[in-house]
């Protein structure tokens, strides 16, 4: 297994920082994090999968050491997809297995729908494709997603989330896992270091401001996913409820596998790291 190293890629007008491990020849795996994380979300899988693959986990635009465009429109899902396509090309590959969690999963689904030529395999964690979310939307999920709408307010969310050395964000990580002590003091220190890089958190919240209304309420005809797909779901998720992820396989017109992990919540690749890694390894090798 390889050590994690770091580099930058200039993708159009945005410079992305990324972590990379392994040297898998033609086999590239791209790991995409969500809110409010950064490449560190995938630290365990980066190392574990590096014996067989080249594994890269970028800081998505707006996060940690990657560039942080100022305009809300710069965080539209299409631009996030273009970043990942550009990163694959920058690394010298034509396509990759794309694995995403939370907002990273939303980007992965969109990428497989819009640019399947870049995606050899798709794995999404916790978040279903937008058409499935819309179909399964309930009043309970709407209430559970209150923070998405709160984040639409200018300035106030940034101020609240950054108060007392990011206490709300840190507590949100530590208190939303199925088991205690998933995020230790050293982990929280790494997250706080990354949050201090993010321009008062404005760029993180712009993911919600640029995409939530369209993704929850748009009436676009869904595109079937045409690449082999794996969906992993921690069943104790307090943000994306179990009823919201019913029927994910209906959105896929290709080999599809779904894994439910009953003793994990939203941060599944960290809460059930070995299960997720082993599942990914089996899926990637199939």
pLDDT tens column, 150-198: 999 999 999 999 999 999 999 999 999 999 999 999 999 999 999 999 8
Q: What integer pLDDT is reported at residue 243 of this predicted model? A: 97
pLDDT tens for each residue of 63-87: 999 999 999 999 999 999 999 999 9
The active-site residue out of 67, 82, 83, 102 is 102
Q: For the residues 6-30, what does the mean pLDDT come to?
A: 93
What are the tens digits of pLDDT across the range 213-263?
Answer: 877 777 777 899 999 999 999 999 999 999 999 999 999 999 999 999 999
Question: What's the whole-number mean pLDDT along residues 38-64?
Answer: 97
Per-residue pLDDT, 220: 73
The token duo for 191 is 């997250």
The whole-model pTM stands at 0.97
- pLDDT tens string 82-139: 999 999 999 999 999 999 999 999 999 999 999 999 999 999 999 999 999 999 999 9
Q: How far apart are CA 2 and CA 46, in angstroms?
A: 9
What is the model's pLDDT at position 218? 75
Task: Point out the catalytic residue in the list 17, 33, 101, 266.
Answer: 266
200 confidence band (pLDDT: 50, 70, 90): confident
The DSSP bridge partners found for residue 252 are 225
Query: Does residue 76 have an active-site annotation?
Result: no
| Residues in CB range of 265: below 8 A, 6 or more apart | 176, 177, 178, 234, 236, 237, 238, 271
Active site residue 266: yes
Using alpha carbons only, how large is the chain's radius of gyration in Å?
17
pLDDT of residue 25: 67
What is the average per-residue pLDDT within 199-226? 88
Please state the rounded mean pLDDT for residues 34-57.
97
| Average pLDDT estimate for 48-70 | 96
Taking Cα atoms as reference points, which of 157, 159, 168 lies closest to residue 191?
168
- Report yes or no: 245 and 132 within 8 Å, Cβ to Cβ: yes
What is the distance between the alpha carbons of residues 216 and 127, in angstroms, rounded to a whole number?
13
Q: Which of the four pLDDT bands, split at 50, 70 and 90, describes residue 2?
A: low
**Catalytic residue among 75, 118, 191, 208, which?**
208
Structural domains in the chain plus CATH codes: 5-285 (3.40.50.1820)
Average pLDDT, the chain: 95
Told to judge if 83 belongs to the known catalytic residues of this protein, a careful annotator would answer no
């Amino acid at each position: 297994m390889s050590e994690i190293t770091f580099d930058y890629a200039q993708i159009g007008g945005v410079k992305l920082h990324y972590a990379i491990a392994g040297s898998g020849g033609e086999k590239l795996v791209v790991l995409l994090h969500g809110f409010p994380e950064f490449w560190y979300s995938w630290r365990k899988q980066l190392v574990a999968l590096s014996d067989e693959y080249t594994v890269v986990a970028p800081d998505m635009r707006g996060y940690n050491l990657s560039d942080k465009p100022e305009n809300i429109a710069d965080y539209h899902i299409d631009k996030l997809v273009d970043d990942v396509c550009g990163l694959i090309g920058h690394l010298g590959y034509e396509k990759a297995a794309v694995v995403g969690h939370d907002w990273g999963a939303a980007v992965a689904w969109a990428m497989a729908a819009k640019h399947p030529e870049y995606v050899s395999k798709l794995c999404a964690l916790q978040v279903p494709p937008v058409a499935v979310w819309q179909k399964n939307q309930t009043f309970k999920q709407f209430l559970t997603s209150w923070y998405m709408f709160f984040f639409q307010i200018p300035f106030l969310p940034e101020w609240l989330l950054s108060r007392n050395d990011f206490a709300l964000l840190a507590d949100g990580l530590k208190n939303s896992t199925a088991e205690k002590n998933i995020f230790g003091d050293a982990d929280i220190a790494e997250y706080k270091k990354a949050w201090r890089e993010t321009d008062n958190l404005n760029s993180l919240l712009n993911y919600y401001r640029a995409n939530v209304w369209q993704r929850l309420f748009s009436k676009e005809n869904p595109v079937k996913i045409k690449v082999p797909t794996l969906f992993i779901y921690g069943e104790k998720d307090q943000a994306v409820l179990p009823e919201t992820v019913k029927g994910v396989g209906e959105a896929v017109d290709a080999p599809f596998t779904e894994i439910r992990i009953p003793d994990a919540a939203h941060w599944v690749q960290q809460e059930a790291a070995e299960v997720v890694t082993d599942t990914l390894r089996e899926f990637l090798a199939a």
